[in-house]
Chain A
Amino acid sequence: MSTKVALGSLPVTFRFRSRSRLLGILLLLPLALVTAFFFVYPMLFLLWRGLHTAEGLSLRHYLAILSDARYRQSLVNSVTLSAVVTVASMVLSTTLAFFFARYDFPGKRLFKALLTFPLSFPGVVVGFMIIILFGRTGVIPMVAMRIVGRPLFNIAYTLAGLFVAYLYFEIPRVTLTMIASVQKMDRRLEEASRSLGAAGFQTLIYVTLPAIWPALISASALAFATSMGAFGTAFTLAQNFNILPMLIYTEYTMSFNIEMASAMAVFLGAITLALLAVYRSWGQGRGRSSA
């Protein structure tokens, strides 16, 4: 009781701090427990499991991702697919971002809402949308059948279908990220460039693109990371196609090669983690990591 009386005479701010430590711990404890038991412990176990070989602990499984032809091929395929999808979605989405940020037209809000609507579709639903468009009885092959008598663009279950599907989920993400940065750009720079006699093309290369450069890097990293880790879409469309997430699944559930699946999962996690760190540090996002 005596402490309470003593505290009562102290400034309010001081009283805050005397109990703050215990309160802070109590408030964070549930989050810490969930994260520790269901995230940190499993991930550390995964790291260790990947090191686990018949001859004891070694880096063999991790090195096999690069040295063994089958695993290396899946990595090459994943990187190539992600790179092509990233470039294509960046070109298209940056164009769209300028369209939305710079011009006014009727129905703009609806247009933007429709464009970002598929953001929350799970990968399997994205896959189904591609089946609807390009599947065996999909819209485009059916329409082609009526017009030219052959089911053209029946590509849903091929590599081309996978590419189109990845574009489907990247476009809304990248466009949304780019619109924000194009809107923030100081347009007087472009006006100045033009008034100094630069051609439209020169202004684009020497003024506009350098001004949005950080956003281009950030959005590319986001697109690349999402493509590398995407699983549900490929699982719905092209299970025979050898990409990293698909190989992790088959190694674990069909070959029961748990150690190799673990090593690849760690590898994939490290790649997306690094890419998303780039996304956050270059982006206009809230920059949680720097806070």
Chain B
Amino acid sequence: MRSRRGAPVLLYVVAVATVAFLIVPVIISVLGSFAGAWHRSLVGDFTLEWYKYVFDNYSRTIGISLLIGFLCMGIGILIGVPAAYAFAKYDFPGKTLFEQIVALPMAIPGIALAVAIIQTHSHIRGNWYFVLLGHLVVTLPYMVDTVTATLRGLNMQVYEESAASLGASWWQRFIHVVVPNIRQAIISGALMIFTISLGEFNMTLFLYTPMYMTLPIGLYESYASLRLEIGSAYTSIFLVLIIPVLLAIQYLGAADESELKNI
């Protein structure tokens, strides 16, 4: 079988055009965030004025989003990893149904879930943990899914039995045998949680109160009512926060990003 090297020119053109369509606005947004006047020149009069505006008016949204993202990650590990372990190891009646229900929040649009939660839990709206709980429900399945899939592929039973035969307690086996083997999946799942939480808009729009406005809500506000340059600066800050996480997810490669549906 020969390995074809030279692709038809037309394919190159399509590929370059597509990547340009996706990436050019990102680059322009970053350049525009430093431009004195966007419509005159992108790279002329350099200014940090727009960043100052964003930090003066929206730094709280950045802090709140980071806090919610980190809390989601931490709670996601504490709740998701043991559950994934139980799914992979034990059999009980109704397990398949339970697993499917737990995975459902990944398939339901954020707006549908938001309209539901805002009706049943309106009494806790305005509390700082309300948005956190919403984010937790939609992010947990990604941790459970990633870790369960990895555990099922590992056949941990054999390792655990040999550890047990050497006298290791359940807790010792879990911490010293199971967790080190799924470390990569746990980190991938945690980074997915952080990415989704930091960008969550559709559901947060219903749940948030002005006191606890998150970054994407602030982004929307800036797009709707402020200069393009300010929107660009704010977006660039979001990108700076999210890009290292994305690179890490790609590097680890255990999570399936194509299933992200935070649109």
**Chain A residues near B (Cβ < 8 Å):** 12-13, 15-16, 19-21, 23-24, 27-28, 30-32, 34-35, 38-43, 45-46, 49, 92, 95-96, 98-99, 102-105, 111, 113-133, 135, 137, 139, 142, 168-169, 171-173, 176-177, 187-188, 191, 222, 225-226, 228-233, 235-236, 245, 248-249, 252, 258, 261-262, 265-266, 268-269, 272-273, 276-277, 285-286, 288-289, 291
Contacts and interface: CB of A to CB of B under 8 A. Distances in A.
Contact of B228 (A103, A132, A176, A245): A132
Contact of B15 (A28, A111, A135, A176): A111
B61 interface: no
B19 A127 contact: no
A102 B263 CA distance: 30
B140 A31 contact: yes
Q: Which 5 A-B pairs have the closest CB atoms?
A: A229-B109, A122-B199, A42-B116, A265-B112, A129-B25
Contacts of A126: 263
Contact of A103 (B7, B14, B90): B7
A226 B263 contact: yes
Given A27-B85, A139-B25, A288-B145, A39 B105 contact: yes
Nearest to A32: B98
B72 to A, nearest CB: 12
Nearest to B256: A285
B28 A139 contact: yes
Interface string B101-113: 1111111111111
A187 to B, nearest CB: 7
A272 B165 CA distance: 48
A231 B259 CA distance: 16
B199 A39 contact: no
Contacts of A120: 195-196, 199, 242, 246, 257, 260, 262
A34 B120 contact: no
A103 B7 CA distance: 6
B86 A258 contact: no
Given A120-B199, A288-B148, A40 B101 contact: yes
A245 to B, nearest CB: 5
A272 B164 CA distance: 45
A231 B223 contact: no
B92 A43 contact: no
A245 B113 CA distance: 12
B39 interface: yes
B3 interface: yes
B144 to A, nearest CB: 7
Contacts of A139: 24-25, 28
Interface residues of B, number: 101
B220 interface: yes
B263 A268 contact: no
B117 interface: yes
A71 B150 CA distance: 44
Contact of B246 (A117, A132, A225, A245): A117
Contact of B238 (A125, A137, A288): A125
16 contacts: A34-B79, A40-B101, A95-B11, A122-B201, A128-B231, A132-B25, A132-B28, A171-B22, A173-B260, A176-B257, A225-B107, A229-B112, A235-B205, A236-B224, A245-B109, A265-B115
Given A114-B19, A122-B200, 20 more contacts: A23-B90, A28-B86, A28-B98, A30-B79, A31-B144, A42-B121, A49-B119, A103-B4, A105-B7, A105-B12, A117-B246, A120-B196, A120-B246, A122-B199, A125-B235, A225-B261, A236-B224, A265-B115, A273-B107, A288-B99
A45 B205 CA distance: 20
B250 interface: yes
A269 B109 contact: yes
Contacts of B235: 125, 128
A225 B108 CA distance: 10
Interface string B81-94: 01101110110100
Contacts of A39: 101, 104-105, 113, 137
Contacts of B14: 92, 95-96, 99
Nearest to B192: A120
B32 interface: yes
B103 to A, nearest CB: 6
B23 A286 contact: no
Nearest to B133: A38
Contact of B258 (A40, A119, A187): A119
Most B CB atoms within 10 A — which of A35, A225, A248, A277?
A35
Contacts of B238: 125
A231 B110 CA distance: 8
Interface string B18-57: 1101111110110010000011000000000000000000
Contact of A273 (B18, B28, B108, B134): B108
A33 to B, nearest CB: 9
